[in-house]
DNA sequence: CGTTGCGTTGAGACATTTCAAAATGTGTGG
DNA sequence: CCACACATTTTGAAATGTCTCAACGCAACG
């Protein structure tokens, strides 16, 4: 089954018609300017699960907006194991961390069938020369990423397994919500293994926590299908800032 | 004793005369343009150890460049304990993570006597409207921060106590080197407690690792004074990307 | 000279990892 | 569409690294 996130997009929709535009880069532009952005965007064929968008070390040339599906980014430690650094849902921008080097510092791989909009960075820079608001949007996106990374570091250095998983689920729920999907029940696009890798936990621990959450009736999990049955409790467990969780608890 | 980093700066030196300019924002500007930057910079009195530059939640108005001394940034978890998110040495920019919100998401505090250059962000934005290179420099700085955070997440989720401390020391050494100081022997500006907090370790663990490293003759530690006696071995332990470590190993 | 803050050291507790095996799910070719 | 192979998930039991708690040493300081 294709991701729910797929259904609403034809393969070659323009930014001005894309339902993601209020979340994506066009957000920064006036309606009459969106077409300018549209012209520099390249839309390729869909990536199948497992295909790479770029590899660590590839020369940096573009940033990418996820249109449907999902991506992960990862680096390889020198022992050869991978460290997942992020998951990307529709409207989110991948590749910005390569911006100050000549090559991508991470690899980006589709974890389900995924469509992306490629934005050549030199052209984006030129465009943003004439559009301060686009510039600021880019800065905001990076600044937001830095704050999210801070939250992630807090998670990795202070939270226990339960809190990590709770945080992860709440965060996903909130991102789904903002995209117009249910924050109560959704489908995880990543495997338990990938989740554990990202959260700094062994697969087995992830599995055990899911079982425990299920018994505590916080969630109902069936493979990758997740239903959050006690959002309030889960938020408390996650223990993040209320602002991040509010929309998950209040509106369902 | 004041930090070694203090000695070369008079209190009101201009950017064009500041020895840090090749590492700092002026790097992005032509010599004749540096004075423009200079004019918007506010240089206040030195902060004493423990004084705050800004608090989490304060309204965002400026970014700051450290001129001498050192800062830490931290957030408070909802249980009230602090999570240190970074240490800042001279020429490094603090406050950029608040850029897309109206308030700072972290607090910034001096961990020794510290001088900063305050750069009001609205003025910096205006200046950068006319200086694409300054703009790009800002983007590069943020992008670099994102990559560093990725390394940090890797450290927190995959490395053990020894590897964490080794990585931390190597990283510090490398930053000192780039600022023209010895990478072999230096003074830690943070306490064991702060180091542990930052690295996701208990103070006691930090202390034990230091003792262990000393016995293995990797370092010689006397309180906050550190001498790296086997940089090569320490780099291997740190296990980071070679590029990050090269200058520590090769040149001493 | 007691007080206070910081660093060190030891012993036991504990959460998570590791290892191993079974169960379940998924994809492929016949 | 079934059967088989392979990957993923779950579960259990033992191993382990780090934390917690507690005590002590040391230096700075009023």
Nucleotide nearest to A204 (CA to C1'): D10
Nucleotides of D under 7 A from a protein CB: 8-13, 17-22
Give the separation between CA B110 and CA B47, rounded to whole angstroms: 7
How far apart are the C-alpha atoms of A173 and A169, rounded to whole Å? 6
Q: Distance between the two ends of chain A, CA-based, in angstroms?
A: 24
Q: Is A194's CB less than 7 Å from nucleic acid strand C?
A: no
Residue B6 or B111, more confident? B111
- The closest CB to that of A158, out of B77, B136, B142, belongs to B77
Tokens standing for B28? 């992005």
Residue A235, token pair as written in the block = 């938020």
Report H helices in A30-189: 31-40, 121-129, 132-158, 161-178
Q: Assess whether B203 (CB) lies less than 7 A from strand C.
A: yes
| 8 Å CB contact of B85 and A150 | yes
What is the number of other CB atoms lying within 10 angstroms of the CB of residue B180?
11
Cβ–Cβ contact B98 with A under 8 A:
yes
pLDDT surpassing 70 at residue B250: no
Partner-chain residue, chosen from A78, A129, A143, that has the shortest CB–CB distance to B142: A143
In this model, does residue A57 exceed pLDDT 70? yes
D17 C1' closest Cα residue: B160
Q: Which residues of A touch B96 (CB under 8 A)?
A: 143, 146
Residue B1 pLDDT class (50, 70, 90 cuts): very low
| Cα–Cα distance for residue pair A210/A217, rounded to 1 Å | 10
Q: What is the mean pLDDT of residues A121-149?
A: 90
Residue B243, chain A, CB below 8 Å: the answer is no
> Does any strand D atom come closer than 7 Å to the Cβ of A192?
yes
Q: What's the CA gap between B46 and A236, in Å, rounded?
A: 41
Q: Give the per-residue pLDDT at B84.
A: 96
Contacts of B154 in chain A (CB under 8 A): 75, 77, 83, 85
pLDDT over 60 (residue A241): no
Confidence of residue A9 (pLDDT cuts 50, 70, 90): very low
Q: How many other C-beta atoms are found inside a 10 Å radius of the C-beta of residue A30?
A: 9
Tell me the average pLDDT of chain B: 88
Of A99, A144, A240, the CB nearest to B100: A144
For residue B150, give the nearest of A85, A150, A154 by CB distance. Answer: A85
Q: How far is the CA of A204 from the C1' of D14 (A)?
A: 15
Q: What pTM was computed for the model?
A: 0.88
CB within 8 Å of chain B, chain A residues 152-191: 152-154, 156-158
Q: Is residue A202's beta carbon less than 7 angstroms from any atom in nucleic acid strand C?
A: yes
Which nucleotide is nearest to A224 if distance is taken from CA to C1'?
Answer: D9
Distance B223 CA to C21 C1' (A): 50
Cβ-based neighbours of A228, under 8 Å, separated by 6 or more: A169, A173, A183, A184, A185, A218, A219, A234, A248
Q: At what angle do helices B132-158 and B121-129 cross, to 10 degrees?
A: 120
CB contact under 8 A, A96 and B144: no
- Distance, CA of A244 to CA of A173 (rounded, Å): 11
Instruction: Using the structure, give the distance in angstroms from the CA atom of B49 to the C1' atom of C5, rounded to a whole number.
Output: 15
**Inter-chain contacts counted by CB atoms under 8 A, chains A and B:** 123
Q: Is nucleic acid strand C under 7 Å from A154's C-beta?
A: no
Task: Report chain A's mean pLDDT, rounded to a whole number.
Answer: 88
From A106's Cα to the closest Cα of chain B, the distance in A is 9
Chain A residue with minimum CA distance to B149: A149
- Check pLDDT > 80 for residue A250: no
CA distance B53 to B57: 12
Nearest to B228 by CA among B236, B239, B237, B217: B217
Burial-class residue A33 by CB neighbours within 10 Å (0-12, 13-18, 19+). middle
- pLDDT band, very low/low/confident/very high, at B80 (cuts 50, 70, 90): confident
Percent of chain A residues topping a pLDDT of 70:
90
Residue pair A24/A65 in contact by the 8 Å Cβ criterion: yes
pLDDT at A73 over 80: yes
pLDDT at A247: 55
Please compute the mean of the pLDDT values over residues A180-189 and round it to a whole number.
Answer: 93
Within B 46-105, residues with CB less than 7 Å from strand C:
none
Q: Do B143 and A97 touch (CB under 8 A)?
A: yes
C-alpha closest to that of A240 among B200, B75, B199, B100: B75
SS3 call for A140: helix
User: Which are the contacts of B44, defined by CB distance < 8 A and separation ≥ 6?
Assistant: B116, B118
Closest by Cα among A50, A82, A55 to A69: A50
Chain A residues touching B78 at Cβ < 8 A: 239-241
pLDDT digits (tens, 9 = 90+) for A197-211: 999 999 999 999 999
CA gap B96, A137 in Å, rounded: 14
């Amino acid at each position: 089954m294709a991701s729910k996130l797929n259904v609403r997009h034809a393969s070659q929709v323009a930014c001005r018609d894309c339902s993601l535009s209020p979340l994506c880069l066009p957000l920064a532009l006036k309606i009459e300017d969106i077409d300018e952005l549209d012209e520099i965007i390249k839309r390729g064929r869909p990536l199948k699960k497992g295909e790479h968008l770029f590899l660590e070390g590839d020369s940096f040339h573009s940033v990418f907006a996820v249109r449907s599906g999902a991506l992960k980014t990862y680096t390889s430690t020198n022992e050869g194991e991978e460290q997942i650094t992020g998951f990307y849902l529709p409207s989110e921008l991948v590749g910005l961390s390569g911006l100050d080097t000549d090559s991508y510092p991470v690899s980006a791989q589709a974890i389900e069938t995924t469509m992306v909009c490629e934005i050549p960075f030199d052209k984006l820079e030129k465009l943003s020369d004439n559009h301060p608001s686009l510039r600021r949007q880019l800065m905001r996106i990076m600044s937001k990423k830095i704050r999210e990374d801070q939250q992630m570091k807090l998670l990795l250095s202070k939270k226990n397994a339960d809190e990590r998983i709770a945080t992860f689920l709440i965060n996903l729920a909130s991102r789904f919500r903002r995209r117009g999907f249910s924050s109560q029940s959704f489908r995880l696009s990543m495997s338990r293994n990938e989740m554990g890798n990202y959260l700094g936990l062994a697969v087995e621990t992830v599995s055990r926590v899911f079982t425990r959450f299920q018994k505590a009736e916080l969630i109902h999990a069936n493979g990758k299908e997740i239903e959050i049955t006690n959002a309030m409790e889960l938020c408390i467990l996650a223990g993040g800032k209320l602002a991040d969780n509010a929309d998950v608890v209040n509106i369902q």
